[in-house]
Structure 1
Amino acid sequence: MTAEILRQQIEKIVKLTDDEFHFVLSHFSAKSFKKHQYVVQAGYAAPNDHFVVKGLLRSFYLDESGKTHILQFAMEDWWISDPQAYHNSEAATLNIDCLEDTQVYVISLENREKLCADSRKMEYFFRKKTQAGYIALQKRIQSLMSQSAKERYDQFVHLYPQLSQRLPKVQIASYLGISRETLSRMADS
């Protein structure tokens, strides 16, 4: 697995020397998962944050009636975890599974804290990534609260054209909070 995609991700925010990157990389582990395999399961520990090198994942929860609610997708060059479980060392409330065979770099909270303590650049990088995540979450909540289903779908296709090609309609519909039938009507019109 190539670490170059991780380096490119970091260097969008901070520049690293080769030695600095090798030090950063020493805090990560490479892992591979098969399609349909769980990376995180609700009720269990979620000790790692995952950077996707190859593949596609989703985070979701099941409500009391068994309905799936998708919170996030993650493809190449994206991060995914159960933030509450990861940062608070609690049992996961979300599930994360692979929609495709997937390769990730993972970092434990302990290693992330060590890395940030030893590298101001990486502390800055993770702070900026966390801020971007909060902003994206705020926009997603506002979209769910104020936009029509059609507006949410159009926004999804505009923001994530590659995802709309890789995901089945049922997954997109769950993410948007609409039925697959409603999505089919919108996509076909």
Structure 2
Amino acid sequence: MVARKIFKDLDLSKADLDLIDSRLEKVSYRKGDIILKVGEEVPYQYYVEDGCLRTFFQDKKGKGHTLQFAVNDWWISDYTAFINSRKAIMNIECIQDATVYRMTYQQLESIYRDVPQVESFFRRKLERAFASFQNRILSTMADSAQERYLLFLKAYPEVDRSVKNYHIASYLGIATETLSRIRKRLAKE
């Protein structure tokens, strides 16, 4: 019963948990799978049970920019497109083998209607995510590359050890070589 794991902080009845589970679809992906491409419909949001995914886009010069990592117990989607029924503006890549549960916007809305506590759960998650993105924007504007890396380590401690340097560098908005220099400097301290 994955709903019990996802909504562990909520006091939900067995009927509520069964209803939620009936609306979640378990899917497995392999490292390297692109599960969403720019320009596609965005039918799902994903709950990561195991593994690691990232959202990214490519600029006009073809350079990749990572917006978000999603590891165990995190949610991921192209939320701009998912919520507004638009085409994807970013990609989702599986960067470690992953097991996820996905649901459509309609399924999410029906859960909100049938289990109101879930709506407030997601509202709180979205508020925290919005604050996190706002802090990340401010950090990108004001903090040094090393300060941004240290903040990254706090937010994603398990990601640093398990993904490629260039993914982390693209998330931080720095060159891979810069990340290597920062890591060497921190190791000496």
On whether the aligned pair clears a TM of 0.5, the verdict is yes
| Equivalent-residue separation in structure 1 for 2:154 and 2:73 (angstroms) | 18
Partner of 2:108: 112
Partner of 1:75: 71
- 1:9-24 alignment, distance < 5 Å: 9-12=6-9, 14-24=10-20
Partner of 1:121: 117
| Equivalent-residue separation in structure 1 for 2:51 and 2:81 (angstroms) | 23
- 1:6-155 alignment, distance < 5 Å: 6-12=3-9, 14-155=10-151
Matched residue type, 1:77: D
CA drift of 1:135 comes to 1.2
Instruction: List 4+ stretches of structure 1 deviating above 6 A.
Output: none
| Equivalent-residue separation in structure 2 for 1:179 and 1:147 (angstroms) | 16
RMSD over aligned Cα, in angstroms?
A: 1.1
1:180 and 2:176 correspond = yes
| Equivalent-residue separation in structure 2 for 1:115 and 1:26 (angstroms) | 10
TM-score by length of 2: 0.94
Unaligned runs of 5+ in 1: none
Matched residue type, 1:106: R
In percent, how many aligned pairs have the same letter? 37
| Equivalent-residue separation in structure 1 for 2:97 and 2:7 (angstroms) | 24
Give 3-state SS (helix, strand or coil) of 1:100's partner.
Answer: strand
Give 3-state SS (helix, strand or coil) of 2:109's partner.
Answer: helix
CA drift of 1:130 comes to 1.4
CA drift of 1:145 comes to 1.1
| Equivalent-residue separation in structure 2 for 1:158 and 1:92 (angstroms) | 29
CA drift of 1:38 comes to 1.1
Give 3-state SS (helix, strand or coil) of 1:115's partner.
Answer: helix
Partner of 1:163: 159
How big is each residue's C-alpha offset from its partner over 1:127-152, in whole Å with a ceiling of 9 and x where there is no partner? 11111211111111111111110100
Moved more, 176-185 or 164-173: 164-173
